[in-house]
Structure 1
Amino acid sequence: MDWGLVGILLLMGAGGGFAAGLLGIGGGMVLVPFITMIFTAKGFPPQVVVHMAIATSLATIMFTSLSSVRAHHKHGAVQWRIVALLAPGIVVGSWIGPWIGKQMNTSALSLLFAAFVTFSALQMILNKKPAPGRELPGTPGMFAAGGVIGVVAGLVGAGGGFISVPFMTWCNVRIHQAVATSAALGFPIALSGTLSNIYFGWSEPGLPQYSLGFIYTPALAVIVAASVTMAPLGARTAHKMDVVSLKRAFAVVLFGLAAYMFYHAFA
């Protein structure tokens, strides 16, 4: 891995880590398109390049989540009871998500990711929050909600924040607590999804050297080194400022990344 590539991966990791801490989104929506560009340029097998980008991005969230949740926990914002109720369903869903992704070809997976990022960017730019119309459901309902969050997150390599945060807000959880709790949920999402990507990618032919299933470990190591440094800064920033304007600016970036993934799907 040349030093220019290392520098690009460090910048990506820093940006993804800061976004994860600030917005509770896991950083995957930023990382996956850029990792896809890099892996494509390096000549990775085109039939698995998006699968590898998603798997590598998801693995980084294990470390980013631990780093950012410490900062949120210091502010007393993480609702650990909610984490405990959602985590079982999330673990199951996050294992299933990569399995579903493996059944899809690169074009279909690119289209799915692009659609998810477009939806997420629209959420950001409109800044619509669901009206708090109910309380959190019981254990079966929380398991089902966690399963849906996990499946989507495992499929697109993100931390699930764009589902879990609106869901918690709708259930009368304050927004800062929802973001902090979403950051904590990133760890079980990433752990289960990473193990799934290793398992289902293990026998995939033609993967590049140093791959662990669908995960490309050199890129993972470099991105993590930067993301764990920046995630706490993002989390601290989230408690000091109104992030609405920043979210809208970030949404413009997401639209551009979604456009690239749409292009990649048809290229």
Structure 2
Amino acid sequence: MIDLTFALYYAALGIGVGFIAGLVGVGGGGLAVPAFTIIFTAQGIANQEVVHMALGTSMAAMIFTTFSSMRAHYNKGHVNTILATKMASGVIVGSLIATTIASAVNGVFLALFFSLFMLYIAYKMFQPNRQKTNLRPHKTVGNTIVGTLIGTVSALVSVSGAGMIVPYLMNQNFDVKHAVGTAATVGFPLALAGTAGYLINGWQHTSPGQLTFGYIYLPAAVLFSLTSYFSAPLGVACAAHLPAKSLKKILGILSLLLSLKMLMQVIENVSG
């Protein structure tokens, strides 16, 4: 059984990350992964594979939220189903490749890659958005290849990929609404494939008594999913009344700082 204190931590994390994700319109993987790593370490879960466990749990927690987001955008007619299907085939392959690689890589290197990725995301959040007409948009092969690359990176850092898919689709001459809606749709199969990959590749670490299955700690995934599902709409409702662009920059910096904290903690655990 999970300790009540840690159960409250996971529920509170879901509330906070869900609200922020709804508020600024980006996924919460940048916050969830380092937070899970820190809490798992305090709880004494998977000391040697704590980063792997954080990545897998974060990916599993995204299944419910990405499905809800996909359905909402589809009902609004903001999804290009043809392109979403092309990219989905790529992200599924990429996610499975990434989780296989991640299972064989030391947690320190995963934490380092995650920190570098968050540095890039923080940098991009301070750059102005520029959209130009692309006279030669990609076709099926190009979209599938890009989907594979995005799926690989997304699964390695356990994010929905929206931060990469939306700019790509806008470069493919999509308007913002359809870019966001299609990206949200691609995020669901990415979450499914990533979760399956972390489950299968980490199966030797399964401990039903501790409620860990592969690289997924079930209580954290469930509590985070449930609370973030209810808090995300509150963030969306507040978005019109708060400076979302400025908050997005703050989120980028916060994600970077948390990832660096995670990296330092993982290095300390290994050296200790």
Q: Once the 2 structures are TM-superposed, how far is the Cα of residue 16 of structure 1 from its aligned partner?
A: 2.5
Match of 2:226 in 1: 225
Q: Does 1:25 align with 2:18?
A: no
Q: Once the 2 structures are TM-superposed, how far is the Cα of residue 42 of structure 1 from its aligned partner?
A: 1.1
Q: For the Cα contact (< 8 Å) 1:15–1:227, is it kept in 2?
A: yes
Q: What do residues 45-72 of structure 1 show as CA deviations (whole Å, max 9, x unaligned)?
A: 3220000000000011111111223333
How far apart in 2 are the matches of 1:169 and 1:242? Answer: 23
Q: Once the 2 structures are TM-superposed, how far is the Cα of residue 41 of structure 1 from its aligned partner?
A: 0.6
Q: For the Cα contact (< 8 Å) 1:111–1:265, is it kept in 2?
A: no
Aligned ranges for residues 172-211 of structure 1 at < 5 Å? 172-204=173-205, 209-211=210-212
Structure 1, 66-75 or 146-155: larger mean CA deviation: 66-75
Q: Once the 2 structures are TM-superposed, how far is the Cα of residue 189 of structure 1 from its aligned partner?
A: 0.5
Aligned ranges for residues 1-267 of structure 1 at < 5 Å? 1-129=2-130, 131-134=132-135, 136-204=137-205, 209-235=210-236, 243-267=244-268
Q: Once the 2 structures are TM-superposed, how far is the Cα of residue 165 of structure 1 from its aligned partner?
A: 1.4
How far apart in 2 are the matches of 1:99 and 1:57? Answer: 17
Taking structure 1 as reference, are residues 153 and 208 closer, same or farther at Cα in structure 2, changes over 3 Å only?
A: farther
Q: Once the 2 structures are TM-superposed, how far is the Cα of residue 241 of structure 1 from its aligned partner?
A: 7.6
How far apart in 1 are the matches of 2:206 and 2:65? Answer: 30
Q: What do residues 123-175 of structure 1 show as CA deviations (whole Å, max 9, x unaligned)?
A: 11224446443454111111101101111111111111221111112111122
Identity among equivalent pairs (%): 35
Instruction: Provide the TM-score with structure 1 as the length reference.
Output: 0.90
Q: For the Cα contact (< 8 Å) 1:90–1:189, is it kept in 2?
A: yes
Q: What do residues 82-137 of structure 1 show as CA deviations (whole Å, max 9, x unaligned)?
A: 21121111111111111111111010010011111111111112244464434541
Unaligned runs of 5+ in 2: none
Q: Once the 2 structures are TM-superposed, how far is the Cα of residue 231 of structure 1 from its aligned partner?
A: 3.1
How far apart in 1 are the matches of 2:204 and 2:3? Answer: 28
Q: Once the 2 structures are TM-superposed, how far is the Cα of residue 203 of structure 1 from its aligned partner?
A: 1.5
Q: Once the 2 structures are TM-superposed, how far is the Cα of residue 207 of structure 1 from its aligned partner?
A: 9.0
How far apart in 2 are the matches of 1:134 and 1:264? Answer: 47
Amino acid at match of 2:215: F
Q: Once the 2 structures are TM-superposed, how far is the Cα of residue 262 of structure 1 from its aligned partner?
A: 3.2
| Matched residue SS, 1:126 | coil
Q: For the Cα contact (< 8 Å) 1:60–1:224, is it kept in 2?
A: yes
> Aligned pair count?
267
Q: CA RMSD in A?
A: 2.4
Structure 1, 46-55 or 63-72: larger mean CA deviation: 63-72
| Matched residue SS, 2:45 | coil
Unaligned runs of 5+ in 1: none
Q: For the Cα contact (< 8 Å) 1:40–1:49, is it kept in 2?
A: yes
How far apart in 1 are the matches of 2:131 and 2:162? Answer: 14
Taking structure 1 as reference, are residues 159 and 215 closer, same or farther at Cα in structure 2, changes over 3 Å only?
A: same
| Matched residue SS, 1:203 | helix
